[in-house]
Amino acid sequence: MWEWLTWVFKRSDNGQCLLFCYALWWIWFSRNQFIYERKITTGRTLVLNIQRYMVE
């Protein structure tokens, strides 16, 4: 896992790294909402949330 993450970050610029981190965080957050609250997040909603964070 560590090798994969360092590979991604070495080959990406700051904007791509930020997008990658936001995407990972939202996927994890959505997973937790599903497990603990039984709330389903669609892929479309996931993308919109990531885009919204990128604009901020």
Dihedral over Cα of 6, 35, 39, 33: its sign: negative
Which helix (H) or strand (E) covers residue 17, if one does?
helix 14-37
Instruction: Give the amino acid at 28.
Output: W
Torsion angle (degrees, nearest 10) of CA 8, 33, 44, 54: -50
What are 3-54's pLDDT values in tens digits? 988 898 899 999 899 999 999 999 999 999 999 999 999 999 999 999 998 8
CB 32 within 8 A of CB 21: no
In the numeric block, the tokens 């959505």 are attached to 30
Domain boundaries, the chain: 2-55
- pTM reported for the whole predicted model: 0.79
